[in-house]
Amino acid sequence: MRYEHFIARRYLRSRRQLRFINIIMLVSVIGITVGVAALIIVLSVFNGFSGVVTQVLVGFDPHVRLEAAKGKSVQVSDSLLKEISKDPRITGVSPFAESKALLVVREQNRVVYVRGVVDTLVENVSGVSRSTILGEFRFGDTKASGGIVLGLALADRLGATVGTDVTVISPVGVDAMLMQFGQPLMRKCTVVGIYDSNNKDYDAHYAYVSLETAKYLFQYKDGVSGIEFRLQDIQQAEQVKLKMASQVGDTYSVSTWYDLHKDLYSVMKIERWSAYLILCLIVGVATFNVLGSLTMGVVEKKRDIGVLKSIGASHGSITRIFMFEGLLVGAIGTGLGLCIGLLVCYLQIHYHLFPLDPNIYIIPAIPVEVRWMDFFTVAAASMVLCTLASLYPARRAARLLPVAAIRWE
């Protein structure tokens, strides 16, 4: 054990002549503890909400999507599709045709996105078919009057239920209709299912029909809007995207689940880092107390410093004594904060200390996800701030002259 560490611990435990120095030191420890615990809890909550959002969005969206770089439809050759599908990381493939259309049910109407899919393939790519709460996700005969699947919110707004007839009016031919030269393409469909994806935005703006019906309504002929892929591991989406982009060239656009909602994830990341920086200010304020208490401790221990220097203690040794004392305060506060933060997260995960109304939210309690990298980041930031706060008083102590320090009363 280095004698600097021994002296630093003795100084930290000793009773001061100026009692309020101990009080300030205690306040410093409490401040660091509160700041670190708050950081761990808030970051874990952000992680939890981010995970819930990703789970909801990815439950509806594909992991990777291939679309036309220009235009509304694209033709993908069977040979190219087979080449892409050879990737062992791909577990599901589903073509789709999508465009806006007008849905009419008696006096009610809504402009929504109508997506044409193959009902037997889409279940391998999207969770929408598993979210069906009424009826089934099967379109039946697509030559005359096919089926249509509505989101719960959309069905409510249209006043539709399973068995209700819905007229789907395509935007193709609207210009001719306005000029009284014809009428738009339309298809009468019957509601065969209603889904609830736990995302009101999707449920209110998306309806599903068969791929053949959509290609007829939007006049895509042999083309489709794109092809969606499901992967074994969602974290491999970026690597699969890069490989796929090199295979298909500039004719196609390849995007991942993250790209589809890039703005949302960017905002969430900004919010997370903003909260991190703001809460770091709590730790920063606490480190000012460390600086103040150490500075007053240097004044109080001025004579001791002179004695140590007179018996051969170097400038570096004196600096290390007070630096180590400040780091001890930071380590105690940081350790307590990490433990308290982890305890609160554990209790929230297992006992739901802060529940949510299940009638309003899709989750029973505030979500929490503990990431050990957050513990490392918070602990590192706290210790860096404590190190900086200890630097000034430690250097001030090292600059004291032995004779002047011993004479000081």
Considering only CA atoms, which of 325, 302, 391 is closest in space to residue 4?
325
| Rounded average pLDDT over 128-140 | 89
pLDDT for residue 81: 82
Greater model confidence, 160 or 182: 160
Helix (H, G, I), strand (E, B) or coil at 226: strand
Q: Determine the Cα–Cα distance for residues 113 and 281; give it in Å rounded to an integer.
A: 46
Q: Determine the Cα–Cα distance for residues 99 and 170; give it in Å rounded to an integer.
A: 9
Q: Determine the Cα–Cα distance for residues 398 and 320; give it in Å rounded to an integer.
A: 9
pLDDT of 12 higher than 70: no
Residue 396 · residue 298 · CB < 8 Å: yes
**Residues 238-251: tens digit of each pLDDT:** 999 999 988 887 88
pLDDT for residue 15: 55
The mean of the pLDDT values for the chain is 85
Helix (H, G, I), strand (E, B) or coil at 179: coil
**CB neighbour class for 323 (10 Å; exposed up to 12, middle 13-18, buried from 19):** buried
Pseudo-torsion of CA 210, 71, 256, 100, nearest 10°? -50
C-alpha 192, offset from chain centre:
35
Q: What is the pTM of this model?
A: 0.81
Considering only CA atoms, which of 340, 325, 93 is closest in space to residue 224?
93
Residue 168 · residue 101 · CB < 8 Å: yes
pLDDT for residue 5: 67
Q: How many CB atoms lie within 10 A of CB 14?
A: 12
H-helix segments, 88-151: 119-122
Q: Which amino acid is at 263?
A: D
pLDDT for residue 327: 87
124: which residues sit within 8 A by CB, 6+ positions away?
91, 92, 93, 94, 230
**CB neighbour class for 312 (10 Å; exposed up to 12, middle 13-18, buried from 19):** exposed
Q: H or E stretch including 223? A: none
| Rounded average pLDDT over 185-213 | 91
Considering only CA atoms, which of 128, 63, 4, 45 is closest in space to residue 349?
45
Considering only CA atoms, which of 219, 257, 204 is closest in space to residue 116?
219
Q: Which amino acid is at 50?
A: S
Phi, psi of 231 (to 5 degrees): -115, 160
Q: Determine the Cα–Cα distance for residues 190 and 40; give it in Å rounded to an integer.
A: 51
Q: Report the range out of 166-180, 291-305, 332-346, 377-391 with the highest average pLDDT.
A: 332-346
Q: Sketch the domain layout of the chain as residue ranges.
A: 3-57+264-407, 63-257
| Rounded average pLDDT over 163-184 | 75
DSSP notation for 280-337: HHHHHHHHHHHHHHHHHHHHHTHHHHHHHHHTT--HHHHHHHHHHHHHHHHHHHHHHH
**Residues 257-274: tens digit of each pLDDT:** 999 889 989 999 999 899
